[in-house]
Amino acid sequence: MIAIIDYGVGNLFSLQSSLKFIGADAEVTNDIAKIKAADRIILPGVGAFADAIAKLRESGMEQVVLEEAANGKPLLGICLGMQMLLEKSYEYGEHAGLGLIGGSVKPIAPMIGEGLKVPHIGWNRLIFPKDREKSKLFQYINEGDCVYFVHSYAGVDCDAFVSARTEYGAELTAAVERGNVYGTQFHPEKSGEVGLKILKAFCEL
């Protein structure tokens, strides 16, 4: 079973529907016992970093995520969920993240320059690093395939863990991974067939 962590942030049922569409057993839950019993965990997230990480901590699920990741269980953070995997965020102040992946989160506006809208909303192609093996998360898709983004902040100082980038005025972090911990800045559940193939790959990790 895949546990989609419900800590009071965002609509999680489109993600559950996408997983069920590909035949995966997925449950939206805030039950710590179920999360511990799950084969894989997904940490979703929308909204502001500080609010989301506070809710995760208040719910008692931060420690569960850290423990299960340390035990080697596959963990996927999506959008803000990916950002929370990093060490800190500079969204309206400075806030500590989960620290599962090195790096921080900063606004994209200074990176992309003038003339492009923030937030970055829409379909953009994935670019895979040339200096490392292709991620297993992307085993069923190709470089150049497009996925759907909605974000104003991006991971930085995390080059050692970047598994995909995208071009939007500058090269931005699209996905990260470290061992059994994976993160996508984009939304696989909103990325059509490409997104379903990424979720399928996660289900096989």
- Hey, where are the domains in the chain? 2-203
Average pLDDT over residues 131-147: 97
Catalytic residue among 68, 79, 95, 151: 79
Residue reference for tokens 């379903």: 196
Average pLDDT over residues 95-103: 98
* Residue type, position 76, single letter: L
User: 3-class SS at 2?
Assistant: strand
State the Cα–Cα distance between residues 44 and 143, nearest whole angstrom: 24
Chain segment 76-90, per-residue pLDDT in tens: 999 999 999 999 999
Query: Is residue 167 annotated as part of the catalytic site, yes or no?
Result: no
* Residue type, position 52, single letter: A
Pick the CATH number of 2-203 from 3.40.630.30, 3.40.50.880, 3.40.50.300, 3.10.129.10: 3.40.50.880
Residue pair 4/33 in contact (Cβ under 8 Å)? The answer is no
- C-beta neighbour count of 131 within 10 angstroms: 5
Query: Is residue 94 annotated as part of the catalytic site, yes or no?
Result: no
pTM, full prediction? 0.97
Query: Is residue 79 annotated as part of the catalytic site, yes or no?
Result: yes
Residue 20 has what pLDDT? 96
Name the percent of the chain lying above pLDDT 70.
Answer: 99
